[in-house]
Structure 1
Amino acid sequence: RRKLRVDKPFALMMPDLATVEAHCYLEPAEYTAIEARQRPIVILDRRPESSVAREVAPGQDTMGVMLPYTPLHVLLIEPEPGFPQALVMTSGNLCEEPIAIDNQEARERLSDLADAFLMHDRRIRTRCDDAVLRIFEGAAFPLRRSRGYAPYPVHLPWEMPPLLAVGPELKNTFCVTRGRYAFLSHHIGDLENYETLCSFEDGITHFETLFRVRPEALAYDLHPDYLATRYALARAEREDLPAIGVQHHHAHIAACMAEHGVAGEQPVIGVSFDGTGYGDDGAIWGGEFLLAYYHGYERPLHLAYIPMPGSEAAVRQPWRLALAWLARAGLEWDEDLPPVLASSTEVRQIVRRQLELRLNAPLTSSMGRLFDAVSALIGVRQRINYEAQAAIELEARVDPDEQAAYHFAIGEDEVDPTPVIHAIVADLGAGLTIGRIAARFHNGVADMVDQVCRLMRDRYGLVEVALSGGVWQNMALLNRTVQRLYEAGFTVYLHRQVPTNDGGLALGQAVVAAHRLAFNP
């Protein structure tokens, strides 16, 4: 509460592997990851008998754990009788603000947060959060690429012109390129305030100096209101440089292709699932099946559009999305449904009018928003306190023994979840547990991805599938989907060097821009 990050999980530092083993399950690759020289935070499955307070990661059966990585840490967490086995380690900032890196700044900004300050006389040059990863199929699956990993470059199989890709709005990182190297920045964060924008601009200046890059072009996201986009367009005009807009989900898939060294002469099937990305038609995309080259893409299928009543309010209050899907499915807003119980009669009347008139209700094809809607519909989470909370808590409720699946309607160019909504409401009425409904939904999404990829293989003769976007941080969905794709004979590309979320987007922007410049010099 003092840090203004209600419900959002905290990272833990433990003194040694024996302590980690006492609180978490570890696979062989997780031992390697947590002991690596980069010392990332590794997301581990929690042991039921762990004494760590549940409030550290509310609604989760996982914990983010790291080992000491400085001598000071070793001294702070040295085991002593009666001393805690784990310490919460969080950055010196309030939620959504940049980390304080100056002693006086810390005193002024963090006096309400910290009871005491341990100061140092050595100046900090650059803010740098801890890196975060999971292990999937025995290898790293990055969630945040920062301390220890940045600015180590991604090696590319072709020469790149000097470029700056400014990245997205949320989980921002930027990328500068030189030769066959793409240097991704440390985690900047969400560009939603002036302080973070200043940190972003300072980081760009630092990287361009450090790597002696003078950009010949700038790449940016198509969303006109993103601060990173505005920075790129203003700088391009000021310095008379080409500015290349790159569609959000195309950049996701291109980033995944690039880190695997995919040649790009033939397209791959790109499955890009996330919460928000500005589409070519002005709608909010996020449930996309693409034919992706580096220089361009086609969009053969996508999740059906649904209005978001209240726009950003629907992101913060997923019950609004649940009501929108009920309306699309032709189902009544019965008083016993969780999203109806979570809202007042007066507000529901406003939402109904917004849906009817499309007033402040932009269209979205977002898979992330569908997960939010299902979470609200079955009573897991009606309002969120941090990004993707509803979907994260829905995943945590999945019953691993449930094998049944809901079925999507797959059309010529659209995937319609309406049958899923009907089935969920029927199962709620029949008294099915939340865990079984959550599992059936995850199984159904995995089945649908498999079916659409098979359809695209039949149409276009393609066997390579790239999965990218923040929804793929859902391990229950990722595992189910990948296994189905393997069984169907597909080659599957997953992120291994940069995050699958927006933290890896700048890499995709850079390689798309480079290929477009080569096509249209």
Structure 2
Amino acid sequence: MTGRVRVEVRVEGVVQGVGFRPFVYGLATRLGLAGRVGNDLNGVFVELEGGRRAIGAFLQALERDAPPLAAIDRITVTRTRPDGGDGFQIAPSDATGPRRTLISPDSPTCADCLAELADPADRRHRYPFVNCVNCGPRLTIVRGVPYDRRLTTMAGFAMCPACAAEYHDPADRRFHAQPVCCPACGPHLRLTAAPTLSPVPAEGPLHGASSVGDPLRGAVGVLRAGGVLAVKGLGGYHLAVLAGHGSAAAALRERKHREDKPFAVMVADVDQARALCEVDAAAAALLTDRARPIVLLPRAPGAAVAEAVAPGTRELGLMLPYTPLHHLLLAEASEPIVLTSGNVSDEPIAYTDADAFDRLGGIADAFLTHDRPIHTRVDDSVVRPFRGKGMVLRRSRGYVPDPIVLPWDAPRQILACGAELKNTFCLAKARHAFLSHHIGDLENYETLRSFTEGVAHFAALFDARPEIVAHDLHPEYLSTKHALSLPDVELVGVQHHHAHIASCLADNGEAGPVIGVAFDGLGYGTDGTLWGGEFLLADLTGFERVAHLAPVPMPGGATAIRQPWRMAAAYLSVCSGPGRSDGPSAGFDGGLDVVRRNEGRWHDVVALAGSGFGAPLTSSAGRLFDAVSALIGVRDVITYEGQAAIELEQLADRVETGRYPAAISAGPPMVIAGSDLVQAAAEDLRAGADPSVISARFHNGVTDVVVRCCQALRDSTGVSTVALSGGVFQNLLLLERTVERLTASGFRVLTHVRVPPNDGGVSLGQAAIAAARDRLAAGR
């Protein structure tokens, strides 16, 4: 017994469902250590006994050589008295006590499983549910913690003897892999015709009922015949067509009621991606990242994709297969496929079989489904390359529920309810902020139910009992109404644009102060108007509005968002209004095509804008982009949020260096004359300038405004760090040029990396602000 040491080791982080116990078992066994390892509600516990040197080697390797899907937050080691035990074993999971363990995101199929999938001699050859401890479903199948099979949607599939042998063999990579299965004991595919549409063409294998033969080959037959296929995936149903099949893509767009918004395209590998888009090293890294997101990339000349897949844009959203089923489909099809969310526009993705058949029965010609239930519906994530890295635009599958670490501990637990559009919620507990998957726009009952169910599930998974509930100031947001309905909690109202800046701070692990530039569509301001072109001197506890775009009316309120020409009318009326002696003449508007295109309504809308009724004031940068888009003929009416601004960016001449000037009043707060930019664009248009040049000069003018305001604010405050947030900064042309010029001017610039700059990041900002204020109130 001389020289023997015994320690108890606590490992916290993402350490369940990632092969951590088998890893510890193998490591301890190789080093000749006695003891045991197990899961509990805090993570993984290890009891070790053996020689001092062997235990030292174990502790060094524990973090250095951890499994690829593990993310260790903290390792705690406590010395105890040796008891002379022999052997090492995996202990049964302990489900008692408060829960602090973390759940891994769903992970793409690993190379080992792909090799089995392709090997005719392997018993899992062409099996669409092959997985191991290093890959496969996680969040989408978890019903509770600890992460054991009985608390997942695999509980109904009893392991066959061969799978059970792998599961219990410490030397096997399926040792304690909870979703382990094979064709003899696991889920199975089924191909079924949709009864509400015409029969599947003769090339397909269906005759109005269940498929015969191989469902995968039958499904690809549907695609090749020009049909729409509903596919049950990891976090819900997708709708698929061949990406090069024009009539199929057009039919999908018509049935889904998605007039213009681009569809995502799944490609087999990076080489196939390069045939469609410009793929540099950063883009390739994003495509192959373990999150397997949709990556927005510049379209390659002559890309073999139907026009209906992504009309009106120079980009395509590409992703690689992330489940065995996807790999099999792509291999069988031998060409890229559209893979878009299984829903009708504005609805959440369908994830239960009954709901999918009900809601997608009028869209899909056939359903490729299976009998493994999905517990949590999760959309695909969306990113775009930015400066050699990625910028997340939708944080969902593959990223969630990995926590964001807050700059400080939250003294009490917090629920942040997020915004109305692109909603997410956030649970903050100690230093962990659990930002939810993408919920969607909270504008109907189905999405609200998805929100409330998601909150309840996350609260159960992470044992959260929020005492503080943070919410937006807008009284009509459903997320705000939900917060106000909760009993026995402390409510914290957070201004929308402050939340944007706070989310950027939290994303970068900082507390401020910063000059925060928050440009978006709109958010409720503290003065009761609709903000959206804001400069805030801010930290996590508070802010001061130090500059903003001059407010203009939104004729018709929300109608002006859907019809950008109304914002053109409002801005042009400001240009030629009273007090603008340098403005255009009374006949100026009549020479513009935007007026002729909307003849018969133009003067009524201008009158509405000036009436003070039905035309709320807004300082929104998004509405300014809308006005210029309509002015130069890009988009008078939109069919999805941000469309006019997106297409205006796509149009811009990338080599044009000219910029439009805009006056900035001395303040405080400083006020920026956005109408100057619109007037300059209108004058260029009348002079015959190309719309692509006008778009570029407008973007450069907005960049110049941001830099000039930040310079003035640095002079008056001494703050030299700028945080850029809000949906407008998804615009790469604006973001790249703004960061470049701010950096050249000596500023330190914070942008979003892990969290969306759009409203999908607002809940994180709300949580960070509520935590900082609570900490301040507690004197910590």
TM over 0.5, shorter chain: yes
What pairs up with 1:167-316 in 2 under 5 angstroms?
167-235=418-486, 238=487, 240-264=488-512, 267-316=513-562
Between the aligned partners of 1:276 and 1:490, the Cα distance in structure 2 is 26
Between the aligned partners of 2:540 and 2:671, the Cα distance in structure 1 is 24
**Residues 1:485 and 2:485 aligned together:** no
C-alpha deviations, 1:483-511, integer Å up to 9, x for none? 00010010000001100000011110001
Between the aligned partners of 2:339 and 2:603, the Cα distance in structure 1 is 45
C-alpha deviations, 1:22-67, integer Å up to 9, x for none? 1111121111110111110001111112111232111111100000
In 1, are the aligned partners of 2:555 and 2:616 still within 8 Å (CA)? yes
Between the aligned partners of 1:142 and 1:452, the Cα distance in structure 2 is 27
In 2, are the aligned partners of 1:272 and 1:469 still within 8 Å (CA)? yes
Given candidates 375, 380, 384, the residue that maps to 1:130 is 380
> Which deviates further from its counterpart, 316-325 or 98-107?
98-107
**Residues 1:388 and 2:645 aligned together:** no
Q: Shift of residue 14 of structure 1?
A: 0.5
Between the aligned partners of 1:32 and 1:156, the Cα distance in structure 2 is 27
Q: Shift of residue 100 of structure 1?
A: 1.3
> Which deviates further from its counterpart, 91-100 or 479-488?
91-100
Between the aligned partners of 1:249 and 1:263, the Cα distance in structure 2 is 16
**Residues 1:342 and 2:342 aligned together:** no
Between the aligned partners of 1:299 and 1:157, the Cα distance in structure 2 is 23
Between the aligned partners of 1:122 and 1:61, the Cα distance in structure 2 is 38
> Which deviates further from its counterpart, 331-340 or 359-368?
331-340
SS in 2 for 1:263: coil
Aligned to 2:392: 142
Aligned to 1:426: 683
Structure 2: state its 5+ residue gaps. 1-253, 577-583
Aligned to 1:460: 717
In 1, are the aligned partners of 2:634 and 2:647 still within 8 Å (CA)? yes
Aligned to 1:399: 653
Q: How many residues align?
A: 512
The structure that is helix-richer by fraction is 1
SS in 2 for 1:282: coil
Q: Shift of residue 292 of structure 1?
A: 0.4
Aligned to 1:105: 355
Between the aligned partners of 2:744 and 2:534, the Cα distance in structure 1 is 22
Aligned to 2:570: 324
Aligned to 2:281: 28
C-alpha deviations, 1:238-262, integer Å up to 9, x for none? 2x21000000000000111112121
Between the aligned partners of 2:679 and 2:360, the Cα distance in structure 1 is 49
Between the aligned partners of 1:504 and 1:194, the Cα distance in structure 2 is 22
Between the aligned partners of 2:367 and 2:324, the Cα distance in structure 1 is 17
Q: Shift of residue 79 of structure 1?
A: 5.5
**Residues 1:373 and 2:630 aligned together:** no
Amino acid aligned to 2:529: A
Amino acid aligned to 1:151: P
Between the aligned partners of 1:327 and 1:45, the Cα distance in structure 2 is 37
SS in 1 for 2:430: strand
Amino acid aligned to 2:432: Y
Between the aligned partners of 1:342 and 1:243, the Cα distance in structure 2 is 48
Q: Shift of residue 136 of structure 1?
A: 0.4
SS in 2 for 1:55: helix
SS in 1 for 2:755: coil
Between the aligned partners of 1:124 and 1:95, the Cα distance in structure 2 is 21
Between the aligned partners of 1:263 and 1:222, the Cα distance in structure 2 is 22
Between the aligned partners of 1:500 and 1:506, the Cα distance in structure 2 is 11
In 2, are the aligned partners of 1:338 and 1:376 still within 8 Å (CA)? no
Q: Shift of residue 419 of structure 1?
A: 2.2
Aligned to 2:295: 42
Between the aligned partners of 1:286 and 1:456, the Cα distance in structure 2 is 19
Amino acid aligned to 2:702: V
SS in 2 for 1:119: strand
Amino acid aligned to 2:765: G
Sequence identity percentage: 53
**Residues 1:11 and 2:261 aligned together:** no
Amino acid aligned to 2:287: I
Structure 1: state its 5+ residue gaps. none
Give me the CA root mean square deviation. 1.1
C-alpha deviations, 1:223-248, integer Å up to 9, x for none? 0000000000111xx2x210000000
Q: Shift of residue 355 of structure 1?
A: 1.8
Amino acid aligned to 1:39: R
C-alpha deviations, 1:340-380, integer Å up to 9, x for none? 122132x2232132122111000000000000000001111
Query: Which one has a bigger Cα radius of gyration?
Result: 2
SS in 2 for 1:25: coil
Between the aligned partners of 2:477 and 2:340, the Cα distance in structure 1 is 27
Between the aligned partners of 2:516 and 2:593, the Cα distance in structure 1 is 35
Between the aligned partners of 1:356 and 1:269, the Cα distance in structure 2 is 33
> Which deviates further from its counterpart, 143-152 or 109-118?
109-118
Between the aligned partners of 1:56 and 1:338, the Cα distance in structure 2 is 29
Amino acid aligned to 1:243: L
Q: Shift of residue 123 of structure 1?
A: 1.1
Between the aligned partners of 2:774 and 2:406, the Cα distance in structure 1 is 17
Aligned to 2:401: 151
SS in 2 for 1:369: helix
Between the aligned partners of 2:427 and 2:567, the Cα distance in structure 1 is 38
Greater relative contact order (Cα 8 A, min sep 6): structure 1 or 2? 1
Aligned to 2:158: none
Aligned to 1:355: 609
Between the aligned partners of 2:698 and 2:394, the Cα distance in structure 1 is 27
SS in 1 for 2:367: coil
Between the aligned partners of 1:152 and 1:97, the Cα distance in structure 2 is 25
C-alpha deviations, 1:414-462, integer Å up to 9, x for none? 0012222221121111110000000000011111111110000000011
> Which deviates further from its counterpart, 206-215 or 507-516?
507-516
In 1, are the aligned partners of 2:408 and 2:772 still within 8 Å (CA)? no
> Which deviates further from its counterpart, 61-70 or 110-119?
110-119
Amino acid aligned to 1:96: D
Amino acid aligned to 2:399: Y
TM-score normalised per structure 1? 0.97
Between the aligned partners of 1:418 and 1:20, the Cα distance in structure 2 is 42
Find runs of 4+ consecutive structure 1 residues off by over 6 angstroms.
Answer: none
Between the aligned partners of 2:489 and 2:310, the Cα distance in structure 1 is 46
Amino acid aligned to 1:353: A
C-alpha deviations, 1:259-295, integer Å up to 9, x for none? 212133xx20000000010000111100000000111
Amino acid aligned to 1:71: P
Amino acid aligned to 1:381: R
Between the aligned partners of 1:18 and 1:349, the Cα distance in structure 2 is 54
